[in-house]
Chain A
């Protein structure tokens, strides 16, 4: 168990358009989901943490109006890149947290990632 999917796996869009990326926990309920961004040969950078039914918490330097996050259910979170520009091109990875029963024993399960290319 503990499978996380992302859709689409790859997307190409024109500059100025908006792109939505979905992250789903397929076989468990995730109270918390995370969105990361990864540049080539760089580490994963946490963008935001989202809890079901509440507003996402963004990391310093991440524009919340640019990267809209919605966590409408315990199995789905979406990241919308609004008015995308070429500098938004990147690999976006989500993860979903499943509790092990005790506080602090959550385990993160990662999705396969979405490659975004903005022309």
Chain B
């Protein structure tokens, strides 16, 4: 059974800092891995999707990496801003995009 863990559970940083969020998974036979953002009381917004054959994906100030062999992914946020404050969830697709297992998320607070 796929288990997805995110560390840390919460993170507070001053504005402008670069930061890394971690996601680990127990079964390396994955289809893809996706990072989402969730604002309080809201649904999920997809940030980056990495296929199992890829090593990383970038979008603006965000960079996500994937190391299947070690069961790890990181989300790098450059030059953090208060607007980045949210919960970041990683989800592992086991067979396809329809079969995802989520981590509990990292709650990020960026202080002005």
Q: Do A and B bind each other?
A: yes
Question: By the criterion CB–CB under 8 Å, are A111 and B43 in contact?
Answer: yes
Question: By the criterion CB–CB under 8 Å, are B44 and A93 in contact?
Answer: yes
> A4-48 toward B: CB 8 Å interface, digit per residue (1/0)?
101000000000000000000000000010100000011111100
* B18-53 at interface with A (beta carbon < 8 Å): 31, 36, 41-45
- Residues of B within 8 Å of A43, CB to CB, are 4, 89, 101-105
Bound complex: CA of A111 vs CA of B4, how far in Å?
Answer: 22
Which of A65-73, A79-87, A100-108 touches B?
Answer: A100-108
- Residues of A within 8 Å of B97, CB to CB, are 97, 104-108
Nearest to A104 among chain B residues (CB) is: B96
Bound complex: CA of A34 vs CA of B91, how far in Å?
Answer: 15
Size of the A side of the interface (Cβ < 8 Å), in residues, is 26
Nearest to A44 among chain B residues (CB) is: B102
Interface size, B (range): 20 to 34
Out of B31, B89, B107, name the residue touching A44 (CB < 8 Å): B89
Question: By the criterion CB–CB under 8 Å, are A104 and B95 in contact?
Answer: yes
Residue A78 is within 8 A (CB to CB) of chain B in the complex? no
* A93-119 at interface with B (beta carbon < 8 Å): 93, 95, 97, 103-108, 110-113, 115
> A41-79 toward B: CB 8 Å interface, digit per residue (1/0)?
111111001000000000000000000000000000000
Residues of A within 8 A of B (CB): 4, 6, 32, 34, 41-46, 49, 91, 93, 95, 97, 103-108, 110-113, 115
Residues of B within 8 A of A (CB): 4, 9, 31, 36, 41-45, 89, 91, 95-98, 100-105, 107
